[in-house]
Amino acid sequence: MHYKEYKSILSANNGINIYRGCSHGCIYCDSRSSCYQMKHEFTDIEIKMDAPVMLENELRRKRKKCMIGTGSMCDPYIHIEEKIMYTRKCLEIIDRYGFGLSILTKSNRILRDLDLLISINEKSKCVVQMTLTTADENLCRIIEPDVSTTKERFETLKTLNENGIPTVVWLCPFLPFINDTEENFRTLINYCIEAKVHGIICFGIGVTMREGNREYFYSKLDEHFPGMKQKYMKVFGNSYECHSTNNDKLMKILYHECHKHNILVGSNNVFAYLKEFETKNINEQICLF
């Protein structure tokens, strides 16, 4: 790991990324793509020096409260967070200044900060997002080797629900010929139903590949799925989007089950929900009466 100085941390869309790089080892990770111009090894985590201080300075100057998002590029609960604790410090600041939080992770380490998630949600809105890809725990350990398993994430989603924290699940990616089966898809949706998730994001059944992440993905296919790389090269070539032949069937199942169980679905709908700031200031509500 190494530190690097930055002048700011909050993006124009009110997103923050505390770390650059990841230690979770997911074989399909888009963040490895060359287009993101990461100048260091992906597993040599770059830490934004004084990230909590920068965030506090920027939130203090904001005239209007909003949702603060994190986790879209780099998971805020990678292994070094246990030592550095920058994510927790940033959550403390978000809580202190009354902003909302939209946070995405694959790690049950987030439960360490359950107290802050509850506090933020009591004042405004806190939404925790988690990615689910496969119900097969053995396969999970291959394609997502150094992060919480699907069952652990499922239990985390249930714990969050029990504490009143709304959740959103990203069902992706589905690697063609590997985890894009109807059995796997239905099992994951059933997890979402049981965990009472508020919404599901699914861009389609498939995976995206660009320069940088394609090479790493193919090397892992050679390691764990002999012959699969050649199949991908024959079917998809250098395509960015690699769609499963099961796409249409599984997407119909998704929408049917979500409507049946009153789960928000459709990327635009869920993203609008994630960005919508809410206030729950009890004193303000009392004053209205």
Burial status of residue 71 (CB atoms within 10 A of its CB: 0-12, 13-18, 19 or more): buried
pLDDT at 72: 87
The total number of structural domains that make up the chain: 1
Q: What is the pLDDT of residue 288?
A: 35
Q: How many residues are listed for the chain in this entry?
A: 289
pLDDT at position 284: 45
Instruction: List Cβ neighbours of 270 (8 Å cut-off, separation of 6 or more).
Output: 168, 199, 200, 201, 264
The confidence score (pLDDT) of residue 73 equals 87
Q: What is the pLDDT of residue 289?
A: 33
Task: Spell out the per-residue pLDDT of the chain, length 289, in tens.
Answer: 999 999 999 999 999 999 999 999 999 999 999 999 888 999 999 999 999 999 999 999 999 999 999 998 899 999 999 999 999 999 999 999 999 999 999 999 999 999 999 999 999 999 999 999 999 999 999 999 999 999 999 999 999 999 999 999 999 999 999 999 999 999 999 999 999 999 999 999 999 999 999 999 999 999 999 999 999 999 999 999 999 999 999 999 999 999 999 999 999 999 999 999 988 765 544 333 3
Q: What is the pTM of this model?
A: 0.94
**Rounded to an integer, what distance in angstroms lies between the CA atom of residue 251 and that of residue 256?**
9
Chain centroid to CA 149: how far?
14
Q: What is the pLDDT of residue 286?
A: 36
Q: Containing domain of residue 64, as a range? A: 2-287
Q: Give me the CATH number covering residue 109.
A: 3.20.20.70
